[in-house]
Structure formats: structure tokens, C-alpha cells
Amino acid sequence: EVQVLESGGGLVQPGGSLRLSCAASGFTFSSYAMSWVRQAPGKGLEWVSTVSGSGGGTYYAESVKGRFTISRDNSQNTLSLQMNSLGVEDTAVYYCARNSDGSGKNHFDFWGQGTLVTVSS
């Protein structure tokens, strides 16, 4: 059974940093791109970042480029999101999601339950 489980959310002050993790199981992790998608309270879904299966290709939303870094450890089946210079606009539930295949045109076929990041003083 495919499972992805996020951790690392919490309360952080504006300007601070936080690192999210996602533990994956039930599939060959290195064969799939992985992504982070977020949802601000009461708002819609916003794609944040994607990393290729090998980790060699990374993509970011303009809103987080230069502040967030996505990475993966295929030996540990884990995905990470390092978030720096956090602002109140980054407050959201962050979902870890598996990309459906190795093509460049894929959707998010499995999602975690999400982890809440709150940026507030």
C-alpha cells in the first residue's frame, strides 16, 4: 500500500526556518518524482515544488524560489522541504504528494495527510 507521511510542521516566527519531511513506503521511491503542495487556511491548492526521481531536477513556484529547497534521500525513502525566510503568507497545510509517473506530464496520485505550518509572531 502506497503511503506518504509528513512531519515537521509547527509554529515559527516570521523570518524563521523550518524543515518538513515526508516518509514514503509501499512503492519504489526512486522511480517517482515527488512534490509539495500547500493550502492556506480556507484557500485553494497551490503547488510549491517538485523533485525528479533521481533528485537531479527541481522545480519551484515563484513564490518560494530562493527561500525553499526541496531534496530527497532515495536510500531512506524520504522527501524534505527546507523553508527559510518564512513569512505569514507561507502559513498553510503542506502536503507531500507522489507524482504519478516519470514523464514530464503527470499528476499527484497519492497524498499525505498534510502538516500545518503556522508563521506568526
Partner 1 sequence: DIQMTQSPSSVSASVGDRVTITCRASQGISSWLAWYQQKPGKAPKVLIYPATSLQSGVPSRFSGSGSGTDFTLTISSLQPEDFATYYCQQAYTFPRTFGQGTKVDVK
Binding piece for partner 1, criterion CB under 8 A, among 15-23, 68-76, 77-85, 102-110: 102-110
CB 119 within 8 A of CB 83: no
Binding piece for partner 1, criterion CB under 8 A, among 16-24, 53-61, 66-74, 80-88: 53-61
Classified as helix, coil or strand, 29 is helix
> Using CB under 8 A, which of 21, 59, 84, 118 touches partner 1?
59
> Using CB under 8 A, which of 17, 87, 107, 120 touches partner 1?
107
Q: Assess 47 for contact with partner 1 (CB under 8 A).
A: yes
Three-state SS sequence of 71-111: EEECCCCEEEEEECCCCHHHCEEEEEEEECCCCCCCCEEEE
